Structure 1
Amino acid sequence: MQPQRTPANNLPEPHPDSLQHSKRVSASLVRAIETAGGSISFGEFMQHALYAPGLGYYVAGTRKFGADGDFVTAPEVSPLFGRVLATQCAAVLSGIAGGRILELGAGSGALAVQILQKLEELDCLPERYQILDVSADLRDRQQQLIREQLPSMLGRVEWIQQLPAGFRGVVVANEVADALPVERFIKVDGEVAQLRVALDESGFVWRVATAPEWLTAGVRAIEKDLGSELPAGYQSEFSPGLQGWIGDLADSVQDAVVLLFDYGIARHEYYAPDRNSGWLRCYFRHHAHDDPLLYPGIQDLTAWVDFTAVAEAADGAGMTVGSYVTQSQFLLHGGLAEEMADFDKLDQRQQYELSRAVKLLTLPGEMGEHFKCLALSKGSASVPAAITVSDRRHVL
């Protein structure tokens, strides 16, 4: 669901407890900046704001998902997303004896519940459903939800601390890549400069500094691929950890299909000349805005995904890029119609709620076009045929 776009100065007031937590996170960031000599990279700021032990947005106890949180993901909109995804997981698992499912960053646990429920109906349960999540708080919430809604499956679900070796089955990552810390850059006099975070009397501020060699090299490689230099004053993001994350994932799987869902676009769109303010987005109580230095620790920081970079990393790590489709195409070709088969048997309220969910998940102005599915494979596993309909790999 697309949150309301709001100027940062028009955001709702944080709850007093949340504001106190943000002040603690800010104090920790101030110490980090002072220790570093006056500034830190934005990637370091984002890493701290999201993942600092006991403080970061994703690891502290604040509610993040659903109506009481800051944003809504597809599994919170409706079980339809998880059920269609489960149908495609079943297509893969049917060809892998003893196959498992690994969900990266399982959020509230809603997607795991939906997938397991549908797979039980299909008589295609995985040997294990593994969850890898960096947040102890979210792991607790996932366990509670599964215990409440699907107690018979609790023994089949396993929470793991690191990527498994020799994994066989399906890997699912819904809105994970967008949460990888990114660096921000700006073009100045034909050179790549780094946007860092510093301090003044008003709080956190941006500072333009000489870019490290690796950032300059990364941006120059993008410009080479685009066939032209980015214009003066151009600002955007670069994800330094993306290649390593995909590489680690590739190393951990033996025979597997990897399904990555996220909001993102191909590189030529991501770094379009007229897109000169980047793709960084902040989410606070269902309001989207553009000030990542505000309320550290209590707002989500994300960046749209350069899916060309993901595909390049996967190819370089020995995986096959099998399909690139919009979320709408994934759902429509993956089994959404079958999930709607009993629509006429529903009462008027249920029909309204289901129709609303379908619109949110599939319409271009909502999640349908902004969100993409990139399907990767390795070993003997192959991407299900339904996911390859309307494939758009040629744009990557």
Structure 2
Amino acid sequence: MQKLSLPIPAPEALAASQALQQLIIDDIRQHQGWIPFSRYMELALYAPDLGYYSGGATKLGKDGDFTTAPEMSALFGATLATLAGKLFTQSTAQVMEFGAGTGKLAKDFLTECQLSGIAIERYFIVELSGELRARQEDLLKDFPQVVWLQQMPAAFSGVVLGNEVLDAMPVDLVRKTADGWCEIGVALADDAAAPLQYCERACDAAICTQIPDADELPVGYLTEVHAVANGFMRSLAQMLNAGCAETGKGGAAILIDYGFPAHEYYHPQRSQGSLMCHYRHHAHPDPFYLPGLQDITAHVDFTAMARAALEENLCVLSYTSQAGFLLESGIADILSRTSPEEVKAYLPQANALQKLISPAEMGELFKVLVIGSGVDLPDNLLRHDRSHRL
């Protein structure tokens, strides 16, 4: 693999990465010298105190490794609040956010509720990281509606938010060989400087069931499958169905991420998958580089996510582009509250809006999947619906 030329981490960060690498090495040894890639990704991202999302490094914004929509503009959270206010007429006035990060989305959402008189009872944040929770608590100290949870509850009625959550869930890697599909895991290499390497082994054909026309793909085809995200979607659907049965009111989940429907995700030309790493705003393909200090992601197979919800008797309410979703949810109206004549206030917001909705930026790459029980979306939100493409 080509040597990467990336920013050098601080000594304490490098020491933390080396500690995580040793933990991963020990885990491989405990499992007869091989672990699935999903296990490696789980440890690299979520190992207590050392994983990328559970450690103390800055992840988001100009000082982090990547920037998300809430970090770009308060317009994003305000737009979601505006839509949620309309959905609250069919559900309880509660929100549950997964993957809250710094808490910026929650802050912008709750600020808009205050400004627009949207009554909200509770804003739950499901957060496993003590370090991230501490940051969120500091940012959200003026909002008494916020309650932290360590796990998904059994039942919930309200609006669920998940911005760039599914792409951070561990994936399995598979490759087609002349003898069928094999699973790519992680094993130890005879190189002290680079002790981790990919290692293939035969796999159960069931692991590839979410790949359409798997038999037609060429030998050498490499891709990801999303068992963890599938499980999350099933649990989410069960929670919303239980909430509807318990309260007599509906619930909806709004999931925003980059990805494709299955027929595009597993296109013959997408032969090397979508796995990507992000370190200090540099994108590269090596997941073994400085574990714990870089993000590891894969695009989302939205067909698989929708199917998991449907199989748990939830409804797919909408699947559309981020641009169509935000525009129909009123983001331009929120921007119009600021006069263009107030140049210093207006221009940054207008520029951020352009990034959020432009097809050349986030507008088309990011998709929005809305699933629910006992809830109907406003008619205008269905103008750009692409559910038929799933």
Equivalent residue, structure 2, for 1:128 = 122
SS at match of 2:12: helix
Partners of 2:275 and 2:299 within 8 A in 1: yes
Q: Which residue of 145, 161, 166 maps to 2:150?
A: 161
Equivalent residue, structure 2, for 1:18 = 13
Equivalent residue, structure 1, for 2:178 = 189
Partner Cα separation in structure 2 for residue 56 and residue 26 of structure 1: 10
Instruction: Please tell me the root mean square deviation across aligned C-alpha atoms, in Å.
Output: 1.5
**Does structure 1 residue 207 correspond to structure 2 residue 199?**
yes
Equivalent residue, structure 2, for 1:119 = 113
Equivalent residue, structure 2, for 1:305 = 300
Partner Cα separation in structure 2 for residue 350 and residue 120 of structure 1: 20
The CA deviation at 1:304 is: 0.5
Partners of 1:93 and 1:124 within 8 A in 2: no
**Does structure 1 residue 382 correspond to structure 2 residue 376?**
yes
Between the aligned residues of both structures, percent identity stands at 38
Partner Cα separation in structure 1 for residue 232 and residue 71 of structure 2: 26
The CA deviation at 1:266 is: 0.6
The CA deviation at 1:230 is: 1.6
Partner Cα separation in structure 2 for residue 64 and residue 180 of structure 1: 16
Partner Cα separation in structure 2 for residue 242 and residue 338 of structure 1: 34
More divergent stretch after superposition (325-334 vs 13-22) = 13-22
The CA deviation at 1:352 is: 2.5
**Does structure 1 residue 233 correspond to structure 2 residue 220?**
yes
**Does structure 1 residue 71 correspond to structure 2 residue 66?**
yes
Equivalent residue, structure 1, for 2:206 = 217
Deviations 1:293-333 (A, max 9, x none): 11101101111000000010010011100100111111111
Partners of 2:128 and 2:151 within 8 A in 1: no
Equivalent residue, structure 1, for 2:247 = none
Partners of 1:8 and 1:291 within 8 A in 2: no
User: Unaligned 5+ residue runs, structure 2?
Assistant: 245-249
Alignment of 1:226-305 (within 5 A): 226=213, 228-253=215-240, 254=244, 255-305=250-300
Q: 1:394 to 1:8 in 2, by over 3 A?
A: farther
SS at match of 2:353: helix
Partner Cα separation in structure 1 for residue 3 and residue 82 of structure 2: 41
TM-score, normalised via structure 2 length: 0.93
Partner Cα separation in structure 1 for residue 236 and residue 303 of structure 2: 17
Equivalent residue, structure 1, for 2:165 = 176
Equivalent residue, structure 2, for 1:58 = 53
TM-score, normalised via structure 1 length: 0.92
User: Unaligned 5+ residue runs, structure 1?
Assistant: 1-6
Equivalent residue, structure 2, for 1:34 = 29
Partners of 1:69 and 1:286 within 8 A in 2: yes
Partner Cα separation in structure 2 for residue 350 and residue 376 of structure 1: 35
Deviations 1:267-290 (A, max 9, x none): 011111011110111110111111
Alignment of 1:336-351 (within 5 A): 336-351=331-346
SS at match of 2:100: coil
The CA deviation at 1:190 is: 4.2
Partner Cα separation in structure 2 for residue 357 and residue 63 of structure 1: 22
Partner Cα separation in structure 1 for residue 6 and residue 283 of structure 2: 9
Partners of 2:260 and 2:302 within 8 A in 1: yes
The CA deviation at 1:27 is: 0.7
SS at match of 1:13: coil
Q: Which residue of 132, 137, 157 maps to 1:143?
A: 137
Deviations 1:110-141 (A, max 9, x none): 00011111112221221111110111111110
Partners of 2:340 and 2:347 within 8 A in 1: no
The CA deviation at 1:159 is: 0.4
The CA deviation at 1:165 is: 3.2
The CA deviation at 1:168 is: 1.2
Partner Cα separation in structure 1 for residue 18 and residue 216 of structure 2: 40
The CA deviation at 1:8 is: 6.1
Partners of 2:210 and 2:304 within 8 A in 1: no
SS at match of 2:227: coil
Partners of 1:94 and 1:124 within 8 A in 2: no
Q: 1:165 to 1:126 in 2, by over 3 A?
A: farther
SS at match of 1:163: coil
Partner Cα separation in structure 1 for residue 381 and residue 285 of structure 2: 33
Partners of 2:93 and 2:119 within 8 A in 1: no
Partner Cα separation in structure 2 for residue 227 and residue 54 of structure 1: 39
Amino acid at match of 1:37: Q
SS at match of 2:381: helix
Deviations 1:182-214 (A, max 9, x none): 010111104001111112213211112112x2x
Partner Cα separation in structure 2 for residue 222 and residue 247 of structure 1: 15
Deviations 1:234-272 (A, max 9, x none): 001011112221111111122201100011111011111
Amino acid at match of 1:335: G
Partner Cα separation in structure 2 for residue 311 and residue 345 of structure 1: 40
